[in-house]
Amino acid sequence: MSSENTAPVPSGTAADSPFRHESVRRDEAPQFVLPLVVHLEKTAPPARTDALETAARAVLVMLSDARSLGEGEWAQAMRDWQDARIRKVVRRARGAEWRKASALPGLTVTGKSAEVRVFPPVPLDGWPKELAKLQVSGTELDDPEPPADPDPTRPVLWMSPDVDMSAGKAMAQAGHGAQLAWWELSAAAREEWREAGFPLAVRTAARDQWAALTASGLPVVRDAGFTEIAPGSCTVVADHPALRR
């Protein structure tokens, strides 16, 4: 599917955000990537919106897992990754490839039709062989019917109506949006979201609302421009009820 990079700096970061350290130079720090693999059988591909939502929830599940926190086994890798750019790469697997990927340490999150496995961060040039050989590009997903209007009481990741992205790119961007929302939430709001199973929707904003969303003070993902789109492009606004001003 597509590799993805971003360079957002949250404006109201929580106490444990990696951006609390002003001395950290994200571009000079060792660069890591968060691998995500979508299960994609030829005969039963997931719906695009469900794949985006499942990828976003997978990122949140990884961020909140006990192994990613404190002295957990993935915690150092998570800190190293978040001290640099929060790169994410989405690849696809089917059949034996998916079974091999599922055997590696990680977490699998399922949606209505989508299945996404997220793995602890790895160095840019240090991918496990089972993941390194998986395809990045060339897959497109569609929605069999337009998604319903989102529940206004739940978090919504609004995608830009002006930026065309492959399915993998959009999955990574949705993950970025979910992560920025997570960073800005209070501990109580995070726990409430986690206990609820991280409900969220991903929708494309209407053009007449996009400008207002990007100026609303909500977290905005601005792409670093490594793949597909121009650097600095606003791609996602993370609209969590606890962050609305």
24-75, pLDDT tens digit by residue? 455 666 789 999 999 999 899 999 999 999 999 999 999 999 999 999 999 9
Q: How confident is the model at residue 1 (pLDDT cuts 50, 70, 90)?
A: very low
pLDDT for residue 3 is more than 60: no
Q: What angle do CA 216, 218, 219 make, to 5 degrees?
A: 140
Q: How many residues does the chain have?
A: 245
Distance CA 85, CA 28 (A): 10
Distance CA 36, CA 69 (A): 19
Distance CA 1, CA 150 (A): 26
- Stated as kind and residue range, the H or E segment containing 175 is helix 167-184
Confidence (pLDDT) at 139: 67
Please state, rounded to an integer, the average pLDDT across all residues of the chain.
87
Q: How confident is the model at residue 137 (pLDDT cuts 50, 70, 90)?
A: confident
Write down the number of H helices and E strands in the chain: 7, 10
Angle at which helix 48-64 crosses helix 187-195, to 10 degrees, equals: 130
Distance CA 127, CA 122 (A): 6
Tell me the β-bridge partners of 158. Answer: 203, 237
For the ranges 64-78, 189-203, 225-239, which has the lowest average pLDDT?
Answer: 225-239
Confidence (pLDDT) at 244: 87
Going through the chain in order, the beta strands assigned E by DSSP cover 3-4, 32-39, 87-93, 107-110, 115-118, 122-123, 156-159, 201-204, 220-222, 234-239
9-27, pLDDT tens digit by residue? 444 444 444 433 434 455 6
pLDDT for residue 229 is more than 90: no
pLDDT for residue 118 is more than 60: yes
Sheet of 220-222: strand order equals 201-204, 156-159, 234-239, 220-222
74-106, pLDDT tens digit by residue? 999 999 999 878 899 999 999 999 999 999 999
Please state, for a pLDDT cut of 90, what percent of the chain lies above it. 72
pTM assigned to the model: 0.88
Q: Is 4 helix (H, G, I), strand (E, B) or coil?
A: strand
